[in-house]
Amino acid sequence: MRDFRSVDKVFNGKPTLEGAGVRLHRVFGYHELPQFDPFLMLDDFGSSDPDDYMSGFPWHPHRGIETVTYMLHGSVAHGDSLGNSGIIRDGQIQWMTAGGGIIHQEMPERQPDYLRGLQLWVNLPRRDKMMAPRYRDIARDACPSVQTKSGAEVRIIAGRFGNARGPVKDIVIDPGYLDVRVPAGACFEHALPKGHTVFAYVVEGAGTFDSRKESLPAGRLALFGEGDAVSVSAGPEGVRFIFVSGQPIGEPIAWGGPIVMNTQVELDQAFREYADGTFIKK
């Protein structure tokens, strides 16, 4: 018999100004540490008003983390110190491991209707903080989709669902990242390891995420407690959510803007190197 997880906490997030003046919705971040270990931050960015996003995220450094950008609608141009450049469009994912250091920029492109994307920050354990940076662009059709008996559609970005596996592999914390659509009146169930951090962020519609039957609308996040499975029931308009899981790292965190290390000494060193031009490791 499955031990279904209940919702420990619900997070509403808050409006935040980031980059060169981008207005976004910060679902969780620094002030919620370490509840989401190994995840650090989730931003929901975009708007129907280009003035809210066109200033973008000009050149800035990262070290000690991975950034995961998932475009729901619209496009973002990017470039980095490894020589990578391109455009992330609808349904595409960029999974970037900053490791020992990378400098990049992300500049949203003007849309005729609206722009929307999600960016998740994933921590790296001490042993991998200074690993060589790497970069992956995931095409829309590279992510398998599975239809459940209840009618739910599950798009797999990382991890497994049923017999399918997402295209993002060899990630240090071996996370799960699913984009789930559940039609009205249907239910979605997913088994996962005990001890893992698990959350669901509602993108569209509304649904109930545990036996309390509290309906969560778009823009809310459910952080689950212990158990070995999750059950979600869609509301009358259906529900779409991202479902993320990963094994906690359990290490101290020293966080300064775009850099996350284990100690203040390491953090200070990273910013000194950025200032004197030795941040990028060959």
Phi and psi, residue 267, nearest 5°: -65, -45
Mean pLDDT in order along the chain per 10 residues (282 residues): 92 96 97 97 97 97 97 96 92 95 96 98 97 91 95 96 90 89 96 95 96 88 96 96 97 97 98 95 74
Q: What is the pLDDT of residue 282?
A: 66
Q: What is the pLDDT of residue 92?
A: 97
SS3 content of the chain, % helix, strand, coil (to 5): 10, 50, 40
Distance CA 244, CA 30 (A): 18
Distance CA 38, CA 251 (A): 9
230 within 8 A of 267, measured Cβ to Cβ: no
Pairing assessment for the beta strands 85-88 and 22-28 based on DSSP bridges: unpaired
pTM, 2 dp: 0.96
Number of continuous H segments (helices) and E segments (strands) in the chain: 1, 24
Domains along the chain? 7-276 (2.60.120.10)
